[in-house]
Amino acid sequence: MPHSTERRRALGRLAGLGCLLAAGPLVAQGGGMTPVAGRPPAPPLALPDIDDKPVDLAAYRGRLVLVNFWATWCPPCRREFPSLGRLQKKFRPDELAVLAVNVGEEAETIFSFAGASEVTILLDRDSAAMRHWPVKGLPTTFIVDRQGRLALRAVGGREFDDAAIVRQLRALLKNA
Amino acid sequence: MRFRYALLTGLFLAALTGFPLVEWAIAAASAQSQSPWHGARAGVAVKATALTRPAVLAFYQARGFSAEAIAPYADACVFSFEVRNAGKGPLRLRLAEWRAAGGPGGMRFRLPEEWDADWERQGVPQAARIAFRWAQFQAEQEFAPGDWIMGMAALRPRPAGPFRLVTVFHRGDRRHEIAIDNVACAP
């Protein structure tokens, strides 16, 4: 009964679409970031930006800093990248800074993808800086609190302007 | 019956976690025998996509490998894996525990550091090695609920025909296996 089988499959897929629509709000709210146990001090991070100007994480003490490790060839990194800029716009510059650490690529490659980005892009050309951080895969993202400690972590892509994440960051700003 | 089960599973997973698992449950209902393959159990969802030799060659040549250097990897049986932790509590995995069953003795995935030792011997440029390292499904991983990871891994020697892919995860003291039948290398 190929006809019947096809119809069932089509119905199944429609049901999947229905589930997607029904689950939309859950998906939008889902995710969030995971608290880092013990809030250890953030490892050092001092790298050139895309204009070759030196940037040091230590200079951001007193603000929240989102540190995102990424590469242009990494599909989830590409998908989440625009949300980093949208997140930055939700906070004042003295509240939050976003540092997107590109791993192993040339400035031209990065620029052709990111263009004039809202976020600060750092170049970790030999992945030496990344080795000091507890990163096992790309993308991995950390929130460094105002005291310079690792407060939150996310492994895998996120929509960083998601309400759940924004709430987590607001709470960190209040409690710090 | 299988359809109804998948539909109910899909609805349940939608309420629990959202679309990706729903998509997988529906896909499972179709009993597909082609890439990508899906498996889910105990709050873990696995997706395995077989990558063709031209796709693998193109990806790594664009990252600085010569065709000769990357050929052994492209000639192996390369997959892109995606794993989601939709359960409660951290999830750990060791790629060394994953295997392809069905052949004599089974086959395992060659680990990223084993490939990297080859690249170092061959003098592959550092930038290419970095891209390779981070494009791989990492050998050992631990990730929190809501986290998901992806990356490539290669079976070598290349299995001659379809096989049972056995993936292994640990949550707390419990060991979970997700086995997917009739998995095959890309032609």
pLDDT in tens, B81-92: 999 999 999 999
Q: Do A138 and B134 touch (CB under 8 A)?
A: yes
Q: What is the pLDDT of residue B103?
A: 63
**Angstrom distance (rounded) from CA A83 to CA A54:** 24
For residues A143 and A97, what is the distance between their CA atoms, to the nearest angstrom? 10
Identify whether the C-beta of residue B131 lies closer than 8 Å to the C-beta of residue A73. yes
Chain B residues whose CB is inside 8 A of the A21 CB are none
Residues sharing a CB contact under 8 Å with residue B11, sequence separation 6 or more, in sequence order: A15, A19, B22
Chain A contact for B101 (CB, 8 A cutoff)? no
Separation between Cα atoms, residue A121 and residue A101, nearest integer Å: 6
Q: Is the peptide bond before B162 cis (omega within 30 degrees of 0)?
A: no
The Cα A133–Cα A36 span in angstroms is: 13
pLDDT in tens, A66-83: 999 999 999 999 999 999
Which of A8, A43, B86, A61 is closest to A16 using CA atoms?
A8
Q: Is B7 on the interface with A (CB under 8 A)?
A: yes
Do residues B68 and B128 lie in contact, with contact meaning Cβ atoms separated by under 8 Å? Answer: no
Q: Which one of A155, A158, A160 makes the best mutation probe of the B interface by having the most chain B beta carbons within 10 Å?
A: A155
Cβ contact (<8 Å) for A74 and B134?
A: yes
In this predicted model, which residue has the larger pLDDT, A9 or B116? B116
What is the helix (H) or strand (E) element at residue A5, kind and residue range? helix A2-29
pTM, two decimal places: 0.81
pLDDT digits (tens, 9 = 90+) for A109-118: 999 999 888 8
Arithmetic mean of pLDDT over chain A: 85
Residue in A6, A18, A7 with CA at minimum distance from that of residue B25: A18
Nearest 5°: CA angle at B49, between B44 and B51?
150
> Which of B7, B8, B19 to probe by mutation at the A interface, max A CB count within 10 Å?
B19
The number of CA neighbours under 13 Å toward the Cβ of B54 is 1
Residue with the bigger pLDDT between A150 and A15: it is: A150
User: What's the pLDDT score for residue B104?
Assistant: 60
Distance CA B101, CA B181 (A): 9
Which stretches within chain A are classed as H helix?
A: 2-29, 75-89, 107-114, 128-131, 163-175
Q: Name every chain A residue with its beta carbon within 8 A of the beta carbon of B133.
A: 127
Chain B residue numbers touching A26 (CB-CB < 8 A): 14-15, 17-18
Q: What are phi and psi of B121, to 5 degrees?
A: -60, -35
Nearest to A136 among B17, B126, B141 (CB): B141
Side chain identity at residue B20, one-letter code: P
Please list every residue in chain B whose beta carbon sits closer than 8 Å to the beta carbon of residue A15.
Answer: 7, 10-11, 26
Per-residue pLDDT of chain B (187 residues; tens, 9 = 90+): 444 444 444 344 334 333 333 333 333 333 346 899 999 999 999 999 999 999 999 999 999 999 999 999 999 999 999 999 999 999 999 999 999 997 666 789 999 999 999 999 999 999 999 999 999 999 999 999 999 999 999 998 899 899 999 999 999 999 999 999 999 999 9
* Residue A2 pLDDT level (bands cut at 50, 70, 90): very low
**CB pair distance less than 8 Å for B26 and A16:** yes
A34–B126 CB contact, under 8 Å: no
Q: Give yes or no for a contact between A151 and B153, defined as CB atoms under 8 angstroms apart.
A: no
